[in-house]
Homo-oligomer: A and B are copies of this chain.
């Protein structure tokens, strides 16, 4: 009965990160933070998924659920969540994986970027450099593997797909190198460096980046 060390899930990482930064948060707060981070644009952070992840991780012991009396301002009875010790471990495991692994799904890395300041600067740098090595290794494997002996071009237009992946990997690596430079030169405030960047919305603070669009889940 190990602590559910399953595969990477962006939602789980984002939700754990949001709850952790608040100390204690209910679903709607998490939902708002993820919108503040723009996560609904680059990941599948929809209300249903968020509430599902909260409940699921509470069942698995990664979060502790506090039932709150249906207090202020009506609505259904809310539940507040707090991150547990196993939850914190899982959070860092997912975060480290998001920053180092190259799986060409950009949402995972974006989530890692949004939460990287929860690590210490030195570790973040090390992970990003590991990421560069992962990209290089991926590139080598793919180009070796998909280059037929009869020379390139044997693949016809299907080869364009591979070319696109490789191009994305290369430009992704270049961008990561730029980020490494910025972080190395002191950009941003990482864990243990004093006043952290405020990455969540305080209770009642208005969201300057809220989209005008309705969420699908909103009542008319």
Contacts and interface: CB of A to CB of B under 8 A. Distances in A.
A117 interface: yes
Interface string A116-152: 1100000000000000000000000000011010000
A138 B157 CA distance: 27
Interface size class, chain A: 35 or more
A216 to B, nearest CB: 11
A209 B146 CA distance: 7
Contacts of A168: 106, 168, 171-172, 175
Interface string A202-220: 0000001100000000000
B42 A165 contact: yes
B199 A161 contact: no
Most chain B CB atoms below 10 A, which of A157, A168, A175, A179: A157
A199 B154 CA distance: 11
B158 A114 contact: yes
Nearest to A149: B208
What 8 A-B pairs are tightest by C-beta distance, nearest first?
A: A171-B171, A156-B197, A157-B188, A110-B161, A167-B175, A113-B161, A113-B160, A117-B157
Interface of A: 37-38, 41-42, 104, 106, 109-110, 113-114, 116-117, 145-146, 148, 156-158, 160-165, 167-168, 171-172, 175, 179, 187-189, 197, 199, 208-209
10 contacts: A38-B146, A38-B161, A41-B165, A42-B104, A104-B106, A106-B168, A156-B197, A157-B188, A158-B199, A167-B175
